[in-house]
Structure formats: structure tokens, C-alpha cells
Structure 1
Amino acid sequence: MAFEGLADRLQSTIKKMTGKGKVSEQDVKEMAREVRLALLEADVNFKVVKDFVKKIKERSVGAEVMDSLTPGQQVIKIVKEELALLMGGEQSKIKVADRPPTVIMMVGLQGAGKTTTSGKLANLLRKKHNRKPLLVACDVYRPAAIDQLETVGKQLGIPVFSQGTEKKPVDIAKEAIAHAKEEHLDYVIVDTAGRLHIDENLMGELTEIKTEINPDEIFLVVDAMTGQDAVNVAETFDQTLDVTGVVLTKLDGDTRGGAALSIRAVTDKPIKFAGMGEKLDELEAFHPERMASRILGMGDVLTLIEKAQENIDEKKAKELEQKMRSASFTFDDFLDQMEQVKSMGPLDEILGMLPGANKMKGLKNVQIDEKQLVHVEAIIQSMTKKERQDPSVMNASRKKRIAKGSGRPIAEVNRLLKQFDEMKKMMKQMSGMQGGKKGKKKKGLNFPFM
């Protein structure tokens, strides 16, 4: 989870406030001190921390808390609101050009993940917004960067405009925009050159590209794991290019991620997107309020719902619900449901979006071994069609064949069959309870293997 170390510290701090019928100034002082230490430890800019803690203290000892029926809850609400404001308050969307294509210039230091992020952004625009993007390879100093962008484009089925290493980057960018207009493409994402550190040549080239192509957005790609350096890099790029937004990469790590909290406050530029993993579909629009909820252990139900809507086939989910009610679902249904939930992302990340999951017994610091899911798939895929439809036909020789075919021990095959049978019985019982006198149905998605 993003900001894991900071999240643990802040959650344990505000937990002391939960349920307090009365909050004294001393309580607020102690909480503010703990919050201050947690933020500094996470490498949040000192001035940012000072202002943040001051606002919390002022609001927490005000009338809205002291006269409240639930002062403890009010203080937590204040911390959440101020944390969201620190990261920008509300989501900042891409500025779309009046006439296509919308041109986005990607800038940043080498190693921040700029090329991969360009591909992820193109994928997000196409997948979520049904747009037609074009990727442009303007890092002429590193042939590997051009190859990388072309490989990413090929993987995603997104066109890449590339003219090798001989032409000037500014000319490549201009020709790419002309090409996008001819092909009626919606977005042009220009992957510019990075350097290991900021230098005059880099900034001069980027300024020239900006002047010539007049981009609608200039996104600075910053590695969230680089601590306070991320903020210094953001300041320098912003002073020269007047960036319009920040994309944070590696936000799924927990090391010093708190520095990301400083970027908005220091540069006054919004965080537009966040990279939540290495896969090409792991880029999310940045929602400050949702991230504040995640950090404080309040879950992120809206993002979870969005992921489910994107990845879960509603028709299949309804069909499966009917099968589960009649206890007629099969191992094929089981496999299909498992694939859909896996497509939502890592299971520990999904659990982290559930409100209060961090407090649930057995779920705190849970490490889900996704290899186990691979083993389950291997066992099911080693069954015949008849065995998947009707597991009751299983005998010793069939189990032995399945174990051999999946490379798993017979004990594991037996365990899966037993769990599947128990789950079917449980679902039948639940269906009976729900279909009582009132005939009320419980709506929602069913994930049978979770």
C-alpha cells in the first residue's frame, strides 16, 4: 500500500482519539506531536509539516470539536480533511484541447519511470476514456529508450511515432503532432529525454520543445521513493517549464513515500496520476480525498467499485449469483470468477481498499501469496470437463492424475475439493436464509474464493 510506514504511524495515533467522549487541549497537543513525528519520519518537507500540524491544532481545539457530541471522531475527520487538502483537495483532470489532438509533454529525470508511465497513460486514456493516443519517442540520446517505448506500444497495441536518433527532438515532436492530426488521433504523448541529473542542455531542449509544440499539459514524472529529492526536482522543473501536473511513480512502495505529500504544497501543482505498480494497467487518476482515506485506514470504496466495474462482467456476475443460490456452480465458474477478480489488481491491494480491513482480525499485515492462486488454477485446469462440472465423480485414480498434471501433491487436490464442496453447502444455506418469508435478496458481487 502507498505510504505504508506513514499510514501505520498515523493510524495508531488517531486510534487513541476514537471514541473519546471528551477531548482536552492536552490530547490534541499529544496527537499533533505524534502526527508531526510521523510526517517528518516519512520525509515530508519540514515547513509543510509545520503548517499542517498548526492547522490541525487550531481546528481541533475550536468550537466545532469541543462542543461536538463525538469530539474524537471530529478530530479524525479534521486530520483526514487536512491531509486531503495537503495533496490538493480534489481530483485534477487533464486539460483537453479545444481541437484534437491534446498534446501532453512528459518530462523528468532518467530512472523516474517516464517512458513506462507514458505507455501507462496512453493505455489509461484508451481503456477508460475510449480515446486514440499516439506515443512519441523523443529521447534520441538513448536508443534503448526508443526501443522501450516501441515495445510498450506493441504490447498495448498503441501506435508509436519514432524517427530514430538522428533528428532533433523538437522536429520529431512537431511531425508527430501533424501525423496525429492526419490520422484523427485524440492525444499525443511526447516522451522527452531525461538525464541522471538536471543540467542546462536538458532544460534548454525541453524549453525549445515546449515553445514549438505549445503542449496542453506538461507532466513531471517523479519517483515517489526518492524522498526529499523528489520535491527539489519538482521545484527546479517547475521554475523552468511551469509544469501543469505531477505523476508519481512507485507509490506502491512504502519507503519515504511521504515526500510525495510535499510536492503539491511546495510547487502548488496538482498530482494528476499515481503509478501503483509495475504493470502497464497500474496507473490511477490521483484522488486526494481517497488517498487520505487509504492512509488513515478508512478504505477506498469508490476506487474499489471503479475497479470492479471495469473488470467484472456484470452479466456473468448475475449468472454466477443464480448458480450459487442453487448450488449449481462449477469449477469452470470458479475459475472464471477468479480471473475477473485477479484482473482488478493484487489481492492485498484490494483488501486494503476495504474500510477497516487493517483492523480486522487476521487481515492486519496480511501477505497474500498469489502463487497459491496459480496452484489452484493448475489443479482445476488439470481436470477433465466432466470433473469440473461434477466433482462428485472424483476417485483415487482421477485425483492422482490431476495431482500429476498440475504438479501439486494429492493432499492439495483433496483440500481444494473439500473447500469447494463446503463452500457450495454454505452458499446453499445462505441462499435459504436470504429467500425466507420476506424474500429479501442480498445484492452485490460474490467472490467465492476470498
Structure 2
Amino acid sequence: MLDNLTQRLAKVVKTMRGEARLTEANTAEMLREVRMALLEADVALPAVREFIARVKEKALGEEVISSLSPGQALVGVVQRELAAIMGADLGPEAAQISFAQQPPAIILMAGLQGVGKTTTVGKLAKYLKEQKKKKVLTVSADVYRPAAIAQLQSVTAQVGADFFPSTAQDKPVEIALAALDWAKKHYHDVLIIDTAGRLGIDEAMMQEIAAVHGAVKPIETLFVVDAMLGQDAINTAKAFNDALPLTGIVLTKLDGDSRGGAALSVRHITGKPIKFAGVSEKLDGLEAFDPTRMANRVLGMGDILALVEEARKGVDAKAAADLAAKVKSGGKFDMNDFKAQLSQMKNMGGMANLVDKLPAQFQQAAGNANMDQADKQVRRMVGIIDSMTAAERAKPELIKATRKRRIAAGAGVQVQEVNRMLTQFEQMQTMMKKLSGGGMMKMMRSMKGMMPGLR
């Protein structure tokens, strides 16, 4: 995500940190590099101008000049201004979904065709159901695109929310009002209305969505925009913002965008906060947008908080506690435990997703590794374990030559892969043995000795 911009800015940040003194010359050089990086990332020119002006004013201010480490202080200025241009200056409440009305809270989704709007409705329903504990109803008012209604019904069922049926013969305003009536009668907390998209902005589309908006008076009107559109994303955001009283933006396909310009521009152009970002194609791939954390990621500082949240969502706390108790009491780490560890890694979004949230130096260290290949390897290892009998999973030492051939054939891999997986399992088993019987404390003590300031 945002690879090119992150690499360019991380390099600038590294140079800035090393500056013992700030002068007009080296500050101007740094700002020129930042400006070029932003323009290459397809950031709108007005947003770039404002950002550079704000950084320049503060960079040559007393606070930075008089700092003991002006380079570090300047990095802080860039980070804060980057966060501000993405919406941090609007305050934390601006990025929250509002429920300040008599239920159901109505969310109207707007945007062009092909930006992932219908899938985003499903993702948002899942987010509100699981993170906010809301009873959610979805409805499609898209009566033009073939299979749009069926698609929404399918994704809604997958996330476990409720769906209000509609047909291509119905009128969008009537669909929305009927769904609202149903939501009230069945005590739903939230109603999400998916609207029709077009390949381009046209008058009929704007009139129709304005009519739906006027009929149901949503508390949230979210504009869904494809982050990969670059400058086009900014132009469509402006057109929708002029036609509708938008309350926020949802950026989709941010995982596929190496430039990242839309994330920095859309908020600046519309004045509306980015509320969510689609970070993967999976139905749980929607994140509440945090400008400060996104600024850290763009500058190559990583997003450790997001990594912790990912771990909290993906890791089964009870299973982890049970495994710790088992190992501590001298129980043997077996293939069932190994498979559980691999599955938890998959639940956290895979290697690429985890590495994306690490600081730049760690990403560079992992840069030579093929993350997609690593994820495939994890899937193959799970397949190999699934090809074992219950006895083999409980006692891996039973697995000799003939069993290896049978397991390899069952998993559709070569025997060498089975051998490689068994070697990795043995390494994990050895590590687990070390953690039992006070080994954890020894390991912590040795780590403490390596880390200055923790003694």
C-alpha cells in the first residue's frame, strides 16, 4: 500500500533525522523532495501547495530551529501536517459513524460503478455488527445493474446481517422507504442503502440519488471512491460533494494503490473526513480510517497499533491460553497445535498484510521475500497436516518414509515439502520446549540484556 510514496518519503525522513542544523538551503531541498514525491503519487496540486506551505512555515519556526535535534523535530512537523491534510485537524469525532438519531441510523452509499460500492456495503455491515454490536439491515436501490441486488444479498448473508429484498421493477425511492419501514418495525439499529452507480457522472444519476436522500434523510451519506483512480477520484469526489450533502468518504482498493494520492487529496478537496479504507478484498478488509496512523505508514514509520489490533482480532485468546498452559505443564506441542498457529497467521490477514504495517526498515528487510509465496507456503503446510491421520498429528514421530509418501500424495505436493514442513515443525517444537519450565523467563532476561534502557 502506498509503496512508491512511502519509499520516497522514508528516504527524506531518514536524511532529515540526520541533520544537526537546519538552514533555509537544506529545508528547501527537503521540501522539494517531498513536493516531488507527492506530485508523483498523484496528490492534487492544491493539496500539495497547502501542505508544503504549512510545513515550511513551521520548519523555519522557533520550535524546530531551537530544538536539540532539529532533524527529528522537522520529521514531527511533516508527520503532523500529513495527518492534518488527511483529516486529523477535523478531530477524532469527525471520522466516526454517527448514531445520533432515533434508530435506525440510515447510511446512504454513493459512488460510481466499479469502485466496489456493493462489497463495501457488506464490509460496513460486518464492521458495524461486530465492532459496534449493531443490528444491521441492507437494501439495494440499484435497479439498473444486472445482478446488483443478488450480489448485495449474497455479501449480506456472508457477513450475517439482514437483507431487505427489492426488484429491478421497483423505484429507488419506494425501495428505500419500504426498507426504512421494515427496519423500524424489526428494531434494526442501522439501515445501509446501496445506490446505483454509473460509469460517469450524469444528471439523471444525481437527481435520483438526491431524491432518495430527500426521502429518507440519512444521518450519513458516504461517498465510495476507488483509491486507484488518482486525479479522477478527486474530480468525482468534488462532483458528488457539490450534488449531495456528503458526511464522509470511503476509500476502496487502498491495498492495490502504490501511489496513494487519493488518500491525501480527497479530504482536502471535499473538506469531508475519510471514515473508512478498504485494505483487502476480504469482507473483513475494511478499517476505520485514522489520519495520524496513516501518516505514520506513509512516512515509513509503520502502524504498530493496527498490527496489535489485527492480532487481537485474529488470535483466539482461549486457544493461546490453553496452549501456554499445556506447554508450561510439560505437554507436547503437536501437529494440531502447529496447525492452529498457522491458521491464526492466516486470520491476521497473511504475511503481506502484517509486513505492510511494520516500519520501513523492517519492510526493507522483508523486501526480498515474496510475501504471496510465503502465504501460499502456509496454505500448503495446512494442507499437508490435513492429509495426516489423527494419530500422526498427535504423534508426528510416527511419520516415516511410507507415511510421508502417502501424506504428500494426499496433499498434492512432493515428499521434499513434507520433509521441509516437518523440519519447521521440529524447530517450533524445540522453541516451545524452551518456553516450558521457566524457559520464558530466561528468554525475557536475555532479551532484556540486549535492550539498553530495560535493565
Q: Under TM normalisation by the shorter chain, which class is it?
A: over 0.9
Q: CA RMSD in A?
A: 2.1
Asked if 1:402 is matched to 2:407, the reply is yes
CA distance in structure 2 between the partners assigned to 1:409 and 1:126 by the alignment: 43
Aligned match of 2:357: 353
Matching residue of 1:163: 166
One-letter code aligned to 2:75: I
Aligned pairs (5 A) from 1:163-312: 163-312=166-315
1:335 aligns with 2:339: yes
Give how far 1:116 is off: 1.1
Q: What is the distance in 2 between the residues matched to 1:442 and 1:40?
A: 43
Question: What is residue 136 of structure 2 aligned with on the other side?
Answer: 133
**CA–CA distance in structure 1, aligned partners of residues 115 and 249 of structure 2:** 12
Q: Mean alpha-carbon deviation: is it higher for 10-19 or for 317-326?
A: 317-326
8 Å CA contact retained: 2:326, 2:332: yes
What amino acid does structure 2 have at the position aligned with 1:13? V
CA–CA distance in 1 between the matches of 2:433 and 2:21? 47
How far apart are 1:108 and its partner, in Å? 0.8
For each residue in 1:59-93, what CA deviation from the matched residue of structure 2 results, as whole angstroms up to 9, or x when unmatched? 11222122112222111111111111010005410
Count of residues in Structure 1 that have an aligned counterpart in Structure 2:
441
TM-score (norm 1): 0.93
Q: CA deviation at 1:231?
A: 0.9
- The equivalent residue for 1:446 is none
Q: What is the CA–CA distance in structure 2 between the aligned matches of 1:33 and 1:439, rounded to whole Å? A: 45
- Tell me what 2:453 maps to: none
Q: Which residue number in structure 2 is paired with residue 376 of structure 1?
A: 381
Change (3 A) 1:59 1:327: farther
Equivalent position amino acid for 1:4 in 2? D
Shift of 1:159: 2.0
* 1:434 and 2:433 are equivalent in the alignment: no
Within-5 A mapping of 1:110-149: 110-149=113-152
- Aligned counterparts, 1:61-100, within 5 A: 61-89=60-88, 90-91=91-92, 92-100=95-103
What is the alpha-carbon distance in structure 2 between the residues aligned to residue 348 and residue 62 of structure 1?
Answer: 40
- Hey, what's the Cα distance between the residues in 2 that align with 1:187 and 1:70? 50
- Identity over aligned pairs, percent: 47
| Distance apart, 1:423 and its partner CA | 2.5
Q: 1:441 to 1:105 in 2, by over 3 A?
A: farther
Other-structure match for 1:14: 13
Structure in which a larger fraction of residues adopt helix: 2
What's the secondary structure of 1:16's corresponding residue?
A: helix
Whether the aligned pair in 2 keeps the contact of 1:230 and 1:260 (CA below 8 Å) is no
Change (3 A) 1:322 1:368: farther
State the one-letter code of the partner of 1:195.
R
Superposed displacement of residue 306, structure 1: 1.6
Indicate conservation of the 8 Å contact 2:351/2:371, yes or no.
no
Distance 1:278 1:362 in 2: 23
C-alpha distance 439-233 of structure 1, shift in aligned 2 (>3 A): closer
Which stretch shows the higher mean deviation, 354-363 or 231-240?
A: 354-363
Q: Find the counterpart in structure 2 of residue 317 from structure 1.
A: 320
Secondary structure of residue in 1 paired with 2:19: coil
Give the AA of the match of 1:211. Answer: G
Is this contact kept in 2: 1:249–1:274, CA < 8 A?
A: yes
**Matches for 1:23-62 after TM superposition, within 5 Å:** 23-62=22-61
In structure 1, runs of 5+ residues without a counterpart are 444-450
**What's the CA shift string for 1:340-376, capped at 9, x where partnerless?**
2211213211122123454553446753412111110
* 1:447 counterpart residue number: none
Q: Distance in 2 between matches of 1:349 and 1:135?
A: 29
CA contact (8 A) 1:324 1:424 kept: no
Aligned counterparts of 2:444 and 2:300: Cα–Cα separation in 1: 35
Moved more, 193-202 or 416-425: 416-425
Output one character per residue of 1:150-196: Cα deviation in whole Å (capped at 9) or x when no partner.
12122223222122022211011011001001010111001111111
C-alpha distance in structure 1 between counterparts of 2:384 and 2:390, whole Å:
13
Q: For residue 426 of structure 2, what is the amino acid of its counterpart?
A: D
Distance of 1:394 and 1:141 partners within structure 2: 58
Q: Structure 2: any 5+ residue segments left out of the alignment? A: 449-455
Cα gap change, 1:364/1:60 in structure 2, threshold over 3 Å: closer, same or farther?
farther
Distance in 2 between residues matched to 1:66 and 1:379, nearest whole Å: 60
Q: Is the 8 A contact 2:87 2:273 kept in 1?
A: yes
Distance 2:72 2:363 in 1: 17
**Per-residue CA shift, 1:114-151, capped at 9, x if unaligned?**
11111111111112111111111101122321121112
- Structure 1 distance, partners of 2:171, 2:439, is 70
User: Separation in 2 of the partners of 1:362 and 1:199?
Assistant: 46
Q: Secondary structure at the match of 2:155?
A: helix
Displacement of 1:24 after TM fit? 2.5
Task: Specify the SS of the correspondent of 2:283.
Answer: coil
Q: Provide the C-alpha distance between the structure 1 equivalents of 2:24 and 2:46, rounded to a whole number of angstroms.
A: 23
Moved more, 274-283 or 313-322: 313-322
Bigger Cα displacement from structure 2, 256-265 vs 359-368: 359-368
**Residues 227 and 257 in structure 2, CA contact (< 8 A), matched pair in contact too:** no
SS state at 1:104 partner: strand
CA distance in 1, matches of 2:363, 2:250: 31
Asked whether the 8 Å contact 1:434–1:441 carries over to 2, the reply is no
Question: Match of 2:452?
Answer: none
The 1-side partners of 2:439 and 2:160 are apart by: 48
Alpha-carbon distance in structure 2 between the residues aligned to 1:324 and 1:26: 60
